[in-house]
Amino acid sequence: MIPVVHFALILRNGKEGHFPLLQKIIRKQNYYNMKKSNIVLLVLIAVAIGVIVTVAGDFSTYETFATARQKEGKQFQVIGKLDTTKAMHYDPVKDANLFRFYVIDKTGETRPVVFYGTKPTDFEKAESVVLTGKMENGEFQCSKILMKCPSKYKNDQVAIGTKA
Amino acid sequence: MNTNYIGEHLLPGQLGHFFAVLAFVSSIVATISYFMSVQSKDANLQQSWKNLARGGFIIQAISVFAVFSCLYYALYNHFFEYKYVWRNSSRDLPVSYLLSSFWADQEGSFLLWSIWNSVLGLVLLRTGKKYEAPVMTVLSLAQVCLASMLLGIYILGYRVGSNPFLLLRLAEENQGLPWVSRADYLNFIKDGNGLNLSLQNYWMVIHPPVVFLSFASTIMPFAYAFAGIWTRDYKEWIKPALPWSLFSAMMLGTGIMMGAAWAYESLTFGGYWSWDPVENSSLVPWLTLVAGIHTLLAFKYTGHALKATFFFFLITFILILYSTFLTRSGILGDTSVHSFTDLGMSGQLLIYMAVFAIPGFWLLIARRKEIPSIVKEESTYSREFWLFIGALILLIAAIQITFTTSIPVWNKLINLLGIKSLFNLQRDIAPPSDGMFHFNKIQIWIAIVLGLMTAVLQYMKYKDTPRGFFSRKIAVPTVLSLVITGLIGIFGNINYDTYGAGFLSAIYVMLFASVYAVVANAAYIFIGQKGKLRAAGASVAHVGFGLVLLGILITSAKKEVISIDRMRMLDNGFFGKDSKENPRENLMLPKNFPVQMGDYHVTYAGDSLAHGDAKTYYLVRYERRDPKTGDIAEKFTLHPDAFLSNRGEQGLTPNPDSRHYLTKDIFTYITAVPIKDESSDTAQYTKHEVAPGDSVFFANGFMVLESLLPKPENPNYQPQSGDLAVGAQLKVFTKNNEQYNLLPVYSLRDSSYEVIVPDTVAPLALFVRFSKILPKDKKIELQVKESDTFKDYIVMKALVFPYINVLWGGVLVMIIGFIMSIVQRVKANKAKSN
């Protein structure tokens, strides 16, 4: 950061001719009583924008199984819901880190999903799931599951007994 | 339709709602009167407006406390006719968790916020002096907004707020249901829905009051800054504002770290921080508040950076409101694991934000030219210049965190503004798939810069630092830090290579930066302040901050999962390309079978229940042997526990247990347990015809029929008058020389039908039924089953957090530093005013 500030100061105070256009702009700024802290401010805003643009590259989009199938082996986030017509399988005695189930994505495509971990609590009740992982041999290998429950903190149905 | 409902207690609700409305109205009166008091020129008029305003505020404070009492009364007495009580509590809930129920939901937590605001207001009535009127105008306005959240009244077709005293039968979702029209409906509602299991925790009792006090207190720097601009008193306001902003930063920091400690101690997020949106959105205002405190100091001593101070104090409170919006509007549903669901108040929350943001920033912009500033530039060798830079670095951190945390908001905006169709975007933006690294790789650099600045800045002087002075004083701490960093680097074995060598080198730089921050600030107490501890609040707080950075760095880089399932890894290829992504972090422990885990042999020794406690406790024995002699070097038992069902439904809600050492924690929690019922069992019974004295063999041993008992006592069998019951007394011998007794029962009821009560040996997964009497052969028929799925085991995860105490210790030191500074500043203010 310090070299950047230094550079800005050279631009402002340095001899004519090194960076004519930039110097012209900065001298013009100087006319409005530009202070060092203002220059620093500008530089840091530039840094902030740079940082944001770079890390925005990490952002992804919610995809479907079809996209994941086309680019096998690449990480995707897929939104879908549990296919309740097919059986879930988790047997810790055989393997405590293997959980298999089926998910229907937004387009209606059903795929087997493998999760290398335990079965999350209340998995059956999830309204929808966000799977992070990749497609391999027609199977979605998922490293993270985020569940959206109908009501995150409560279940709002009043259960009424038949007998007093 | 006028049904006279039986058994309802309507008085607390009516009183509560009356006081909620009264709080709303009287806070409006207080706001307007304080506003008029500030605006009026005549001193008498000012005073009479102020008196009216005080009355209004005191009435609103009393009303808020009354609402609190009414709701607590309803909760305490289990009045399930109120939806809030029904939704958040149940009869079996221990009284100590009633407060958790109180603020488990949106209405209760708004009420808590409102209470703290009232307390702060009452303090201001006594201490505000000439700032009372402008500051209290802002505070009263906040009370208007908060009170409106509890109204539950329809205005022009819109529901304003949500009434915590709404009756269950009047709730929207229950309209038209048959039970609603029954006068005796309360006879059927025996119990409430109950509190979410993960909130039944002592942290839930203490964490929210601290957090909401901190939220409430962020209005103080805002209100003082606003008062400063509003009354054109641009300089003086900072004196009372400084201790308040220190208090606010201390509380907010404490609240955030208490949340982290909760997550670490009793939730199973696998750590204390996961860059979850809910965590982020409360960290961001802390960053801007701390930035504001530093620019305020720069202004106080040099006259620079006043505008920045205004900006930071204003934005902090707006960011608190933004965080409230994020966590309460339901917008984070897809990205956070712990936010509220929508209560239909998103619009109201946005208005709340606008009510403070628009006047605040509008005034700041409109009067920017009036705000005094110094024409002469700061020297690069001055403390104020670098304080300003540091504040901007904090701002960058805040912007980056907010930008990513707000992804759901960007999606809403993109959809709303039609940009999506404009650019033909198909899908919503999703947060980064590796969220932790996304934040860490940016924030580590920010932490490095902040650590370095924290270290050196106290050694610089305001206005200008003599050149020799700085290098002479800083030399010793610098060398010392380099040595310590080198030692940690050599002996600490830091080799976090998950993200490559670049990130590892960043870790080493941050190691130096945080050590430097600790050492240099500790040294400054002696070098700079000559050991005068009373004035060393800032240094102490900075030492704490350095320790926090160091603790975060070490625990994150050296956190290790020790419950790796290596058996299966070998199957699929230990060195396979998936071994890093699928680390197989859960380990199955069969009962009484020691399993190697890290340095330990771990044995699951059974579970137990405690009376009056809905949780099941698991005994996990750890044993470490000396590798040379084979002697047991260390032995301890952990008791991770779990709720196995919630209201009769299966589901595991685990709580971890940790072994604390000074230098590390071993952290264990249950991730799966077998479902102990017969229906999931596929094994078949085999028939055996036996006479007394005969034996029956099974996989793990044999059993002997000792005798037939005429009046059997089996806990699962309840004798009735027409019963003709016989029990088969069995003795079970296992291969491990264990013995068990079994008494299955056969009974002929009223000479007409058979009642068969089986018996089991749970640890062996052995079931025995006494199914028939064969009088001819003088034998009986036994049916024996050994289940293959019904075995007792647990699946658990265990982690080692090294030096987590550096983090918690750092937090404590930081809090102490803040308290020292507050005391010092309050004293200085008092000394000046006398």
CATH of A62-148, one of 3.40.50.720, 2.40.50.140, 3.10.450.50, 3.55.40.20: 2.40.50.140
Amino acid letter, residue B686: T
Whether the CA torsion B534, B538, B541, B543 is positive or negative: it is negative
Q: What is the CA radius of gyration of chain A?
A: 28
Name the residue of chain B whose CA is nearest to A35's CA: B377
What pLDDT, on the 0 to 100 scale, is given for residue A85?
85
Which site among B173, B187, B188, B336 would you substitute to test the A interface, given the most A Cβ atoms closer than 10 Å to its Cβ?
B188
Query: Any bridge partners for residue B82, and if so which?
Result: B167
Option in B168, B399, B789 nearest A48 (CB): B399
Beta B560-561 vs B793-802: how paired, if at all? antiparallel
What pLDDT, on the 0 to 100 scale, is given for residue B116?
97
Which site among A2, A115, A118, A127 would you substitute to test the B interface, given the most B Cβ atoms closer than 10 Å to its Cβ?
A118
**Structure tokens that stand for B532 in this block:** 């005068």
In chain A, residues with a C-beta closer than 8 Å to the C-beta of B404 are: 55, 59
Q: In chain B, where are the structural domains located?
A: 1-195, 210-431, 454-558+804-834, 566-674+793-802, 678-786
B261: left (phi over 0), alpha (psi -120 to 50) or beta: alpha
- Please say if the pLDDT value at position B610 is more than 80: no
Option in B335, B380, B584 nearest A116 (CB): B584
Option in B304, B337, B430 nearest A77 (CB): B430
A25 or B212, which is more confident? Answer: B212
Task: Please write the tens of the pLDDT for every residue from B303-356.
Answer: 888 999 999 999 999 999 999 999 888 788 767 766 666 677 888 899 999 999
| Interchain CB distance below 8 Å, A161 and B190 | yes
Kindly state the average pLDDT of the residues B15-29. Answer: 95
Measured in angstroms, the CA of B703 and the nearest CA of chain A are apart by 26
- Please say if the pLDDT value at position A31 is more than 50: no
Predicted model pTM: 0.81
Beta B695-698 vs B632-638: how paired, if at all? unpaired
Task: Please write the tens of the pLDDT for every residue from B454-477.
Answer: 999 988 888 888 888 888 888 899
- Please report which helix (H) or strand (E) contains residue A136, including its range: strand A128-136
Provide ipTM, 2 decimals.
0.70
**What one-character-per-residue DSSP string does B578-616 give?**
TTTTS----EEEEBT--EEETTEEEEEEEEEE-TT--PE
SS3 of B296-353: HHHHHHHCCCHHHHHHHHHHHHHHHHHHHHHHHCCCCCCCCCCCCCCCCCHHHHHHHH
Amino acid letter, residue A114: V
Task: Please write the tens of the pLDDT for every residue from B684-724.
Answer: 778 888 888 888 887 667 889 988 888 887 777 777 777 88
| Interchain CB distance below 8 Å, A55 and B177 | no
Option in B339, B392, B427 nearest A44 (CB): B392
What pLDDT, on the 0 to 100 scale, is given for residue A12?
55
Query: Any bridge partners for residue B774, and if so which?
Result: B779
Closest by CA position to A79, among listed A128, A119, A17: A128
Kindly state the average pLDDT of the residues B25-35. Answer: 96
Query: Any bridge partners for residue B748, and if so which?
Result: B724, B754
Closest by CA position to A1, among listed B116, B796, B386: B386
**Structure tokens that stand for B758 in this block:** 């089986």
**Structure tokens that stand for B445 in this block:** 């650099």
**In angstroms, rounded to a whole number, what is the distance separating the alpha carbons of residues B355 and B341?**
24
Report residue A157's pLDDT band, with 50, 70 and 90 as the boundaries: very low
Distance between first and last Cα of chain B: 69
| Interchain CB distance below 8 Å, B179 and A160 | yes
Kindly state the average pLDDT of the residues B165-187. Answer: 83
B314: left (phi over 0), alpha (psi -120 to 50) or beta: alpha
DSSP one-letter code for B461: P
Report residue A151's pLDDT band, with 50, 70 and 90 as the boundaries: very low
Contact B565, B584 (CB under 8 A): yes
What pLDDT, on the 0 to 100 scale, is given for residue B232?
93
Measured in angstroms, the CA of A109 and the nearest CA of chain B are apart by 17
- Please report which helix (H) or strand (E) contains residue B701, including its range: strand B701-709
Contact A121, B651 (CB under 8 A): yes
Measured in angstroms, the CA of A89 and the nearest CA of chain B are apart by 13
Measured in angstroms, the CA of B400 and the nearest CA of chain A are apart by 6
| Interchain CB distance below 8 Å, B795 and A47 | no
A131 or B722, which is more confident? Answer: A131
| Interchain CB distance below 8 Å, B672 and A118 | yes
Contact B793, B228 (CB under 8 A): no
Q: In chain A, where are the structural domains located?
A: 2-56, 62-148
**In angstroms, rounded to a whole number, what is the distance separating the alpha carbons of residues B492 and B684?**
56
Measured in angstroms, the CA of A51 and the nearest CA of chain B are apart by 8
**In angstroms, rounded to a whole number, what is the distance separating the alpha carbons of residues B7 and B9?**
7
In chain A, residues with a C-beta closer than 8 Å to the C-beta of B190 are: 161
A–B interface: beta-carbon pairs under 8 A: 162
**In angstroms, rounded to a whole number, what is the distance separating the alpha carbons of residues B367 and B298?**
21
What pLDDT, on the 0 to 100 scale, is given for residue B759?
83
Report residue A1's pLDDT band, with 50, 70 and 90 as the boundaries: very low
DSSP one-letter code for B131: G
Residues 6+ apart with CB under 8 A from B635: B621, B622, B623, B624
Name the residue of chain A whose CA is nearest to B105's CA: A153
Largest CA-CA distance found in chain A, in angstroms, rounded:
94
